[in-house]
Structure 1
Amino acid sequence: MITRVDDYLHKVPLSGAVAEEVGPFTLFRSTTVWPYYARPVPGSGVTIEASDIELVRARCAELEIPLSFEWVVETCPSLGPAAVAAGLTVVEHPLLVLERADFRPVVADARCEILSADEEVVRQSRAVAGLAFGEPGTAVGKAGPAERDAAAAEMSADVVTALQDRVHRGVAVSAGAFTDDGMVATGTHQPVDSATEIVGVGTLPSMRRRGLGAAVTSALVQHALDNEVDLVLLSAETAAVAAVYERVGFRRIGSAGAAE
C-alpha cells in the first residue's frame, strides 16, 4: 500500500511540472503559477546524504526556484536527517488512505456539490482555501464570507486561469459546501489512474466545527469512487485534523515528510 502511495505521489506533479533527475532525486520544475519540489526516486533504496541535498540546492539556485522536498518517510527514512543536516526545516504529517470498503459518507447542514470551472466559482473556492490555511487548525476563527469575497475579487487572473485549466484537463476535481452565506468549505482531489489524493480541504474559519470539512471530503471521495478510483490518500496537517478524515473512513499508514 505505501509503495503504491509513493508511486502515485511521484506521478501527480507531472500535471503541472516537468521532471529532471538530480542525483537520487526527481526535481519537478513547475510549468504553472505555483512551485513544486524534489522527491526521492521511488524504489531506489538509496541512503540520502546532506551532499545530495546540496546537489538539488545548487540546481534550484541555477533555475531560480525554491528549494523544497516532499517524501514518504517510511520509504526514505534517511531524507529527514539529511535535510536537517543541510540546514532545512523538516516537518512530518500524518499520511492516510481510504479504500472503497472503508468509506463512511458524512453529511452536514450544507449543500455539497462538485464545482464547475466557472471563473467566479474558482475564485470563491480558492479564496475559501486561502483563508482556511491562513488560520490553520480546527478552532473557530475570524475570517468569514466578507473576507472570502474580498480575497476572491483580488485574486490574480493568472492563478484563476491555471486552476480552470486543471479542471478542464480533469487533473483536479473540486467540491464545495454551500450555506445561505455561499461557499463556506472546499477541497480538491487529483486523480491519476486508479488513485487520487485529496488536497486543500478548508473551511472558512468562522464556519468551523460544523462538520463541513468532513462533508466536502466525503463528496470528493464519492466522486473519486464513482470514477474508477479505488484508493484515496491525503496528508493531514496534524493528528487533530487527521481525526476529521478518520470520520470518513481514512486510516493512517505512515507519515508524509516535507522540508524547505
Structure 2
Amino acid sequence: MDLRIQNAVVANLRTRPDAVQAGPFVLGLDHGTDSPHINYATPLPGAAITPDDVAGLITAFGGRPPRLEYVTSCAPDLETLLLDAGFAVEARNEYLVCTPSSLATPPVPDGFRVFAPVTDDDLTGMIAAQNQAFGGPASATADDVARYRRNQDHGAVQITAQAADGRYAGGGTSTAPSDGVSEVAGIAVGEPFRRAGLGGAITAAITSRLFAAGVDLAWLEASGEDSWRVYERVGYRAAGKRLYIAKY
C-alpha cells in the first residue's frame, strides 16, 4: 500500500509543468505559483540517499524554500538527513484509503448541486470558494484556472458545489490517476454552507468518478477530527503515514 501511494505521488509531481529530477528526488515545480503546497519534492521509493543528494535537492529548488512530502516507510532514513541539513518537520499525517468496495455515497444535501465544472466561470467560482474556505482570498486568477484545466487534461477529477442562489459553496479535486491510484485533495466547503453534508457529497462524487474511470485505490489526508469523520463516513480508512518537512 505505502509503495503504491508513494509511486503515485512521484508520478503526480512529474506532471507539473516545470518538474525536474535531482538525483533521487522529483521536484514538482510550477513557476506559475509560489504555493508550497504545489511546489514540493518527493523521494523515489527505495533510492539510496546521501547528504550530497540533499544538498543537490536544495540547489535544485533555485531559491524557493525546499519542501518535501512523502510516505515515511518508503525513505526511512531521509528524515534524519533532512534534519541535519536544517529542515524542520511541518506535520506527520496519516493517510486514508478507499476502494470501490468500501465507498459509501451519501445523498447531495437539499438546495445544492454537486457537479463537474466545465466553464471557466464554474472553475473560477469553485477555486474562489476553495481559497476562501482555506482562509485565503475569495478570488481566482487566470493562472489558477489554467492549472485546473491542465490537471483536467491529465485526467484529474474536479467537483464543485453550488447553492440554489448561485453561490459556489465549495469543491474538491483529484490528481491524475497513476497505475490505478489517485489522491483526493482540496476538499473545501465555505463557512455558510458547512455541517450540511457537502464535504462528504463532494468527496464521494470525486471518488466514485475515479472508480468509474478505472482507479482501484483512492487516498487522501484529513486535517482534523471533523474532516476525519467525514471521510470515514464515505468509506476511507487509515492506512499509512506521511511526512511534511521543509527548510525556510
The answer to whether TM tops 0.5 is yes
Partner of 2:66: 67
Partner of 2:114: 113
Per-residue CA deviation, residues 152-183 of structure 1 (Å, 9 max, x unaligned), is 3xx3222222322332x143221122222422
Q: Give yes or no for the alignment of 1:196 onto 2:199.
A: no
Once the two structures are TM-superposed, the CA of residue 245 in structure 1 deviates from its matched residue by 0.6
- 1:165–1:27 CA distance, 2 compared to 1 (3 A): closer
Partners of 1:49 and 1:244 lie apart in 2 by: 40
CA contact (8 A) 1:128 1:186 kept: yes
CA contact (8 A) 1:33 1:162 kept: no
- 1:87–1:54 CA distance, 2 compared to 1 (3 A): same
CA contact (8 A) 1:107 1:215 kept: yes
Alignment RMSD (CA, Å): 2.3
Once the two structures are TM-superposed, the CA of residue 31 in structure 1 deviates from its matched residue by 5.9
* SS of the residue 2:159 aligns to: strand
Partner of 2:125: 124
Partners of 1:53 and 1:162 lie apart in 2 by: 29
**Aligned with 2:211 (options 214, 219, 225):** 225
Per-residue CA deviation, residues 98-145 of structure 1 (Å, 9 max, x unaligned), is 11111111224144433233111111111111111118xxxxxxxxxx
Q: Give yes or no for the alignment of 1:186 onto 2:185.
A: no
**Aligned with 1:39 (options 27, 34, 42):** 42
The one-letter amino acid paired with 2:46 is G
Partner of 1:95: 95
The structure with the largest helix share of the pair is 1
Once the two structures are TM-superposed, the CA of residue 243 in structure 1 deviates from its matched residue by 2.2
- 1:178–1:70 CA distance, 2 compared to 1 (3 A): same
* SS of the residue 1:192 aligns to: coil
The one-letter amino acid paired with 2:182 is T
* SS of the residue 2:98 aligns to: strand
CA contact (8 A) 2:156 2:177 kept: no
Q: Give yes or no for the alignment of 1:247 onto 2:233.
A: yes
Once the two structures are TM-superposed, the CA of residue 89 in structure 1 deviates from its matched residue by 2.8
**Aligned with 1:165 (options 150, 153, 172):** 150
The one-letter amino acid paired with 1:205 is E
Q: How many residues align?
A: 239
- 1:102–1:55 CA distance, 2 compared to 1 (3 A): same
Quote the sequence identity (%): 26
Partners of 2:198 and 2:42 lie apart in 1 by: 32
- 1:112–1:16 CA distance, 2 compared to 1 (3 A): farther
Once the two structures are TM-superposed, the CA of residue 19 in structure 1 deviates from its matched residue by 4.5
The one-letter amino acid paired with 2:70 is W
TM-score (norm 2): 0.85
- 1:133–1:218 CA distance, 2 compared to 1 (3 A): same
Partners of 1:21 and 1:161 lie apart in 2 by: 24
Once the two structures are TM-superposed, the CA of residue 253 in structure 1 deviates from its matched residue by 0.9
* SS of the residue 1:87 aligns to: coil
Partner of 2:202: 216
Name stretches of at least 5 consecutive residues in structure 1 with no aligned partner.
136-146
Partner of 1:83: 82
Partners of 1:71 and 1:191 lie apart in 2 by: 17
* SS of the residue 1:252 aligns to: strand
The one-letter amino acid paired with 1:127 is A
